[in-house]
Structure 1
Amino acid sequence: MRKHSPAALGALAVAVLMTVVGCSSPNSPNTKKSAQSDGYDPGYTCSKTSCPTTLTAGLAGGQSTFVRNFNPFSPTATSGTFFMYEPLWMFNILKQGEFIPWLADKPAWSEDGKKITIKLNQDATWSDGSSVTAEDLVFTLEALKKDPELQKFEYVAAKAVDAKTAEITFAGPAYTLESTIGGVSIVPKKIWESQDLKKWTNPEPVVSGPYKLGQFSSQQVVLQARADYWKQKVPVPQIKIPILGQAEEQKLMSGELEWSGGAIANVKKVYVDKDPEHNHAWYPSYGSLNVYFNPARKPFDNPSVRKGLSLAIDGDQVMKIVTQDLSYSISPTGMDQKTQGKWIAPQYKDLPFGKANVDGALAELAKAGFSKRGEELVGPDGKQLTVDLPENAEYKDAIQRDQIIAEQWKKIGVKTNVRPVPGTQLDALKKSADLDVNVGGAVYGANPWSYYNDILSSKNAGAWANYGSWKDPETDALLKKLSETGDQAEQLAVVGELQKIMVEKVPSFPLASIGASAEYNSKQWVGWPNEENPYAMPPPWAAGDNLRVVLSLKPNPDTYGS
């Protein structure tokens, strides 16, 4: 699962990690050679040998070549783009949505929730030395607003109050848009105002983030740390992102790749146990893995069919086989009971889940006219219920998961065709709703609105993450109501109504938690997030979190000294 994927906490995490790692400061008397790459000084020294200069990250998926596109608004942006562009603020969903300021401080809302005031960090600069301004923010918002496919959220007006302060006004209360607003990537107005945001490839990016483009080729992107980065010294001088083809797992095993976000079947056995001192895997829960039904195609337009197929799935078995319990079954409401439990409405807290209910499944399917005939489940037309389930051919673990689901459906007489296809073809099938069922992930935000909006809003049909193209006026009205209240009690009441739709109409079935799959090697670099210190989501593809990770790393003192 890769995504589509969010600094009191960030600064604290960085400070703590610097202390734990034990590398000396630039002013320490114990100084030898500084880690340098192309003249960059990261601000620490190593006593045993020269410090490491490069971190190699796997971000290319199954690509065979890179195209030079560093447009942060493009769905085909080149790997590494989000090490260069930054969000306004973030939320650590591993710490119950804890707020993390970044380009901007904690925003202020008007009492009626119709206006938000954003103050940009006074020190924030672009890589050409100019200041990141409120004008840049307003320009970005207005440019995105011109294209419905790019617009992140609806608003009435945006204006710059002064050089570093902007105000956004909404038609109604918009409290729950805070995480969406925070995730906007600002671009410099002077560079972008003459460009088409959707089409421009931004080949020479001017950025606010810790890295700028160093080198580009069709086979590798090299990101170079900014010596003038406004937030702190960047500890890793270079990030290399090579084309790996189908060899990402192999390169990880050999040590050539140090940081990966690919989900690996039997990861503990095949990777961690090979070198437990240096090889690490952590898949923290950050959302739900859902089975999406296409209500525009018969018989999946019938809620009893959707519910029946859901009841036949044994999520515990799927997760045990595929992830060795790194993931786990979750509530049919879509909320992970471990990390989002406070958002499960009281009437749904005790819903059973995780185990197949074959009798319940057949009873539900009977409401839609389906019955067993021998080993087959047949409908009113006398034909066996058959499900077409396309899957991204690049992801072995996903294909394995789908095949297990197919075996479970076979037990109630359903025939399932698990069909591996190229990722681009799968995206096209989702967008056009040209499929029966598919499996995909949705992520949590600072509150349930972003999650339910992603998977249920008509505006997101066929896109992230409404992969079943659910379109329902009642659902849209509830999402709008939820976005307009800042009162937590009222939010929970509306969330309960959305959960009623999830449980009774089953637009999608929340199969399990999704782990933010990450593997990393600590021989060169330490300070990675883990279960004891969950300061960020660990994969290199997690935009925003990936910045917190690289800014928290330091050379391993056992290897390089301090």
Structure 2
Amino acid sequence: MVNDNHVTGGDTDGNRVTRRQWLALGGGAALTGLAGCSGDNPNETDVTMSSKPDETDTTGETDTEQSGGSPVTTTLNMRAPVSWQPSKSNVNPFTDTKNTEYWMDYMWSESPVYPNARGEPIYWLADEINLKGGGCEVHIKLSEDYTWWDGTPVTAKDVHTTQLISDYKNYMGPDQTEDSWEVVDKYTVKNVLPGPANPSLKKSQYYSVVAKHDYFKSWLEKYEDASNESAVKQVTKNLQEHRITLNDLTEKGLGCGLWKPTQLSPTKAVHEKYQDHPRADWTNLETFNWHLISEKQKAIQALKTGKLDMGDKTVTQAQSNDRVSIFNRFGTSSIVKLAMNWNNEHLARRPVRRAIAYLLDHDELVKIIKTTQGLKYKSRSTVNGLSSKQAQKWGGKSFQNKLIGYGRKSQPEKAKKVLQDAGYSKKGGVWVGPNGSKVNDLTYLTPPWNIYETIGNYLSPKLDKFGFKNKLIIPSSSGFWKRWTDTHDFDMVNWFSNTSHPGNAFATNSVAGLGKYNEVATVKQPKGKCKVNRTTPELSQPRSKKLNHPIRPKFPKKVGTMGTGGEQQTLYPVKWNDIITQTQSADEVKKYAKKFMWYMNWQVPHIGFYDETRAYWGNTDKFNFPTGKVDDHPNAKETKSEHFTNAMEFLSKGHISAKTK
């Protein structure tokens, strides 16, 4: 469960990418709503956000083919995630190493809500979310229709236990956090916050899968019986090592999602529909087969021969195949980016980071991705921490024109100049710093995800040729998470950033945002009234533990300044992000978003590669797929936000049915 103080980024929770995504994770590890820009009264204190949308959007034509008659099939075939091995999967929701893709959790289990690619909430377990008490109390009313696979209802007690265990695991216990959780009644849980939440932002933040109380209550008791910090850590260690297999998930009734794994083999994982799921009648499919195809060429062959009915990989081949067609394509607010570890003496220097920004050829990179993945991404021309759409919304054209432009095309001469101006020289094809240290042996880490690998294979030799000698490392999923979360053994890493709102793009609790700063910042909450926290936190150390970022650096006030001259200002990332995520004023969000955009542009802690696009293909002769039109699904008006989902397959939530005859 996520809240203002407990947003655990993809860099700390391996099963969330993000289980967050951040999402994003992936990232994966949060895709949340826009603060202060809806039609609601921004000063209204009690805001109700329910799963019942308005009835005004009625574009598109109704597809009635699935409304009657016998389905032409009850089975759908897909390719499973490339590196996934069912026999090695650990679906314990509290372990950081799961050997699954983060979105798979949401197929087998459920969360109260989930954010779509536009930051809009998708309501699942939750029927509605009410902000009360000036925005400091969040009441989550659950649907009474969801049950665990053993038939017992999913209740507020499950949500409550999930959150308390997460508090122990991540913060040493609920008493170490600044908010609290209470069970109000069987289907209502209350989250009391230390400060107000922006309604448009908050409603999409409760998206961790819920764990079953009856199974995990013994772990909660172990935590509660732990007598000291060491004992709590030991319980956490044991919990992280506790393995729950897919068979356990089914046999012990630990899932509550639409699809149950029923047969696992070296070649496929068979899932059957959970008939008591509230969305069971949304689809006439009864089974789907996840084929374990690790090699790309075999996947392409399976596509050509009609063995696969749907997918989001091998899009290029799908576009040239008359058996399938693209049924949904949409832009997201996600940016895949290069994050740099400032524990490396060279990457800690701004001119080196700027040289990499100048060296990148965004047009070239998106062409490579188009060729290899079939996805058409939008090139970026500068560094500002936001997608193009969000940068325009919160920064505007005039402001963006003042920013330092690093270019869509590679500018190696500018890259050389910023290095030379900083005292670097090139010797034997390698850049040498002012103290004689060579820029070599850089460790370039990337998760074993298709497009991320493509980026690494493009950028690594480009950096090498320029004189930044590096080694690209693509470990296994578990190997990546260990280096990313535990050892921090890397100099550069391909990661992601969710920029659906400045509060996410510049989050200070995850590298999926600006950086992971909150763990060294002590925020003093204002006493008394529920009001926006504008206090400056105390720091236990001046730099972050992860990536070694300075937390309160100076940077120029004048936007577009290249150097360090002129009037300076201090970055207060935690304070500013608190304001953005709590204020009811869109103008205030813009004010601080511009400060963050300028800091990112000047400092270059991360470099965004492109604005992401998602595309799905499928056999449209045989199946009905969501296209993004409001009326293309019998339940589309209830779930229109789900047509823009970039974190899971549409199959997972009942949006695909077979055509009828």
| Contact 2:138–2:192, Cα closer than 8 Å, also in 1 | yes
Query: Given the alignment, which residue of 379, 399, 420 partners 1:366?
Result: 420
| Contact 1:312–1:357, Cα closer than 8 Å, also in 2 | yes
For the pair 1:183 / 2:207, whether they are aligned, the reply is yes
For the pair 1:275 / 2:326, whether they are aligned, the reply is no
Query: Given the alignment, which residue of 193, 206, 217 partners 1:170?
Result: 193
- Name 1:356's counterpart in structure 2: 410
- Name 2:126's counterpart in structure 1: 104
Alignment of 1:49-68 (within 5 A): 51-64=72-85, 66-67=87-88
Alignment of 1:223-242 (within 5 A): 223-231=271-279, 233-235=281-283, 236-242=285-291
- Name 1:159's counterpart in structure 2: 182
CA deviation after TM superposition for structure 1 residue 291, in Å:
1.2
1:119-173 deviation digits (Å, cap 9, x = unpaired)? 1123333333333222222222112111117999955211122222221111122
1:497-546 deviation digits (Å, cap 9, x = unpaired)? 2223311221111121233464434343221446998854678x824xx3
- Name 1:22's counterpart in structure 2: 65
CA deviation after TM superposition for structure 1 residue 439, in Å:
1.9
Cα RMSD of the aligned pairs, angstroms, is: 3.8
CA deviation after TM superposition for structure 1 residue 304, in Å:
1.9
Equivalent-residue separation in structure 2 for 1:261 and 1:66 (angstroms)? 24
For the pair 1:244 / 2:293, whether they are aligned, the reply is yes
| Contact 1:314–1:355, Cα closer than 8 Å, also in 2 | yes
Equivalent-residue separation in structure 2 for 1:346 and 1:160 (angstroms)? 47
1:431-483 deviation digits (Å, cap 9, x = unpaired)? 322222222222344x232233233232699xxxx985646254334333333
| Contact 1:441–1:514, Cα closer than 8 Å, also in 2 | no
1:81-100 deviation digits (Å, cap 9, x = unpaired)? 32121221233334xx3333
In structure 2, the CA distance between the partners of 1:470 and 1:18, relative to structure 1 (3 Å rule), is farther
| Contact 1:329–1:513, Cα closer than 8 Å, also in 2 | yes
1:378-402 deviation digits (Å, cap 9, x = unpaired)? 3224565336353558556544433
- Name 1:293's counterpart in structure 2: 340
Query: Given the alignment, which residue of 28, 35, 42 partners 1:4?
Result: 28
- Helix, strand or coil: the match of 1:223? strand
In structure 2, the CA distance between the partners of 1:275 and 1:12, relative to structure 1 (3 Å rule), is farther
Equivalent-residue separation in structure 2 for 1:379 and 1:475 (angstroms)? 30
Equivalent-residue separation in structure 2 for 1:160 and 1:100 (angstroms)? 23
CA deviation after TM superposition for structure 1 residue 273, in Å:
0.6
| Contact 1:284–1:515, Cα closer than 8 Å, also in 2 | yes
- Name 1:436's counterpart in structure 2: 491
Q: Gaps (5+ residues) in structure 2?
A: 1-23, 32-50, 221-238, 520-544, 553-571, 633-639
- Name 1:455's counterpart in structure 2: 513
| Contact 1:299–1:305, Cα closer than 8 Å, also in 2 | yes
Q: Gaps (5+ residues) in structure 1?
A: 26-30, 32-44
- Name 1:305's counterpart in structure 2: 352
For the pair 1:337 / 2:416, whether they are aligned, the reply is no
Alignment of 1:486-497 (within 5 A): 486-497=584-595
- Name 1:554's counterpart in structure 2: 657
| Contact 2:626–2:655, Cα closer than 8 Å, also in 1 | yes
In structure 2, the CA distance between the partners of 1:253 and 1:9, relative to structure 1 (3 Å rule), is farther
| Contact 2:135–2:198, Cα closer than 8 Å, also in 1 | yes
Query: Given the alignment, which residue of 492, 499, 512 partners 2:597?
Result: 499
Q: Which moved more, 1:57-66 or 1:85-94?
A: 57-66
- Name 2:90's counterpart in structure 1: 69
One-letter amino acid of the counterpart of residue 129, structure 2: P
One-letter amino acid of the counterpart of residue 145, structure 2: D
For the pair 1:322 / 2:372, whether they are aligned, the reply is no
Equivalent-residue separation in structure 2 for 1:321 and 1:194 (angstroms)? 51
| Contact 2:650–2:656, Cα closer than 8 Å, also in 1 | no
In structure 2, the CA distance between the partners of 1:167 and 1:72, relative to structure 1 (3 Å rule), is same
For the pair 1:134 / 2:156, whether they are aligned, the reply is yes
CA deviation after TM superposition for structure 1 residue 275, in Å:
2.0
- Helix, strand or coil: the match of 1:93? coil
- Name 1:222's counterpart in structure 2: 270
Q: Percent identity?
A: 18
| Contact 2:108–2:256, Cα closer than 8 Å, also in 1 | yes
In structure 2, the CA distance between the partners of 1:77 and 1:185, relative to structure 1 (3 Å rule), is farther
Q: How many residues align?
A: 521
